[in-house]
Amino acid sequence: MRIIKYFLFSFFAFSFSSPVLSSEITVNKISSYQQANLPKNGTYDGFIVYFKDDFNNADKKKPTTEKTAAQKISSIKNIVIERKISTGGYLIKSTLKNSQEAENKRIFNLLRKNPEVILVEPNLIFRATVLPDNDPGFSNLWGLKNTAYGVNAVTAWDSGYSGTGITVAVIDTGIINHPDLNANVLPGYDFISDAVDARDGNGRDADPSDEGDWTTSWFECGFFYPPSDSSWHGSHVAGTIAMVDNTIGGVGVAPDAKILPIRVLGKCGGTTIDITEGMLWAAGLSVNGITNNPNPAQIINMSLGGPGSCSFTEQSAINSVIAKGAVVIVAAGNENSDASGYSPSSCDKVLSVAALDENGNRASFSNYGNTVDLSAPGTSIYSTIDSGSTTPQGPTYGNYEGTSMATPNVAGVAALLLSKEPTLTPQEVMDHLISSAKPIAGTCSGGCGAGLVDAGLALGSGDGSVLFSDSFE
């Protein structure tokens, strides 16, 4: 069994032919997202550019096309428009191989100054860091139980609700072949555009299998990033939500829910565009060149995050997903800092989750603050992984910790709630979970939201005071 402390960062963006744009968006509102400076070179892959004509409805100008967009920025050398993306912008990259920081700054500043452009955002890259945790005393599945420290899933099960009919999309590293997952896994999609990062020989395809995200050198991914074994992170998250109730291993919070695996994170992470388009497809929205998802998710789990405030591209995708009917549940982050400085925790309309330890205290790594909505168990979380340190070798189990692990506990409780009340809107799901949270048993400096999520209280099927058996099939 592996015991791992898992820590994630994230950034997003997506693309398809019909932009998903809110009627509330104005020129002034979108321009307020403009950053003055670029992040560190190697933390982004091109630029997401939005043009004024696509937002200035009062002038009734025609929306841009790839041809007219290219004309508007034709004076800038060494750039190419790769495609139009789902939130209405364009992915633009340097034509110079391995362009240096000075070149990227030149392009960024020229795009910002172009009078036809309203917003330029870096197409940020998601990164993951895995650190060892050597405490051997972790007990399996403590977070599910009806104690002062667990999510009280058993009470919901005893009331007859186990997630039946609910689909949860896991936006992550993909999925492995595992007997404690397979029965609950729906056909998903691989949204990783870069064939090298995907490690499957091509770009996007209909196979969301996790090929492994290991790295072997500090500079393999283009900047100072430590080598690590494959994490199998998406499968661990999926197992926390919906491990099958059988005679092996563990059991998920919502063991009869279905998992929709969306692979967006590969060897060197994932881009804004790949992550946000994965979100949109998961919710049943169109993505150019890809057949629509026949199993739209009611819940989207995003166990990822990174420094910086929520971008326009992220917020636009989140708004569209919620309008389609999916609640978005995100990790608060693992920097032991105010979550308002991290994304997507700082995005509007998401349910942000902090992590608690086995004694009900805020976990030492967990972010905190006013943008956090709820807390959940996030240390020593036992779930499904692969035994391989690089490529898949066979199913096993491991204990991970992080807000990445707390988030699927809340997603699982949301699935239990929706299996009882399937007509709830995303906002109503959030309101139910927040208003029914129980006080955390330990301490939380800085703020851990409304408290610890409680399945029994959320479903109105228990007061959270009864201690159930520690044995699980």
From the candidates 178, 233, 236, 432, give the one annotated as an active-site residue: 233
Closest CA to 176 of 243, 222, 232, 229: 232
**Where does 283-354 have alpha helices with state H?**
312-324
432 catalytic residue (yes or no): no
Q: Quick check: bond before 294 cis, omega within 30?
A: no
Let me know: does 328 contact 295? Beta carbons within 8 Å: no
Q: Does residue 23 carry a catalytic annotation?
A: no
Distances (CA, A) of 246 to 133, 179, 184, 251, 473: 29, 9, 12, 8, 6
Active site (annotated) includes residue 53: no
Phi and psi of 456, rounded to 5°? -60, -45
- C-beta separation of 349 from 318 below 8 A: yes
DSSP one-letter string for 18-56: S----TT--HHHHHTT--SS---TTSEEEEEEEEGGGT-
Kindly report the length of the chain: 473
Q: Of the listed 45, 53, 54, 172, which one is catalytic?
A: 172
Is there a contact between 414 and 330 (Cβ–Cβ < 8 Å)?
Answer: no
Catalytic residue among 404, 419, 436, 461: 404
Handedness of CA 169, 153, 237, 131 (dihedral sign): positive
Where is 354: in which H helix or E strand? strand 351-356
20 alpha carbon, distance to own chain's centre:
19
Task: At 245, list the tokens.
Answer: 């109730």
Is 419:161 a contact under the CB 8 Å cutoff? yes
Determine whether 137 is exposed, middle or buried from the number of CB atoms within 10 Å of its CB (0-12, 13-18, 19+).
exposed
Catalytic positions are 172, 233, 404
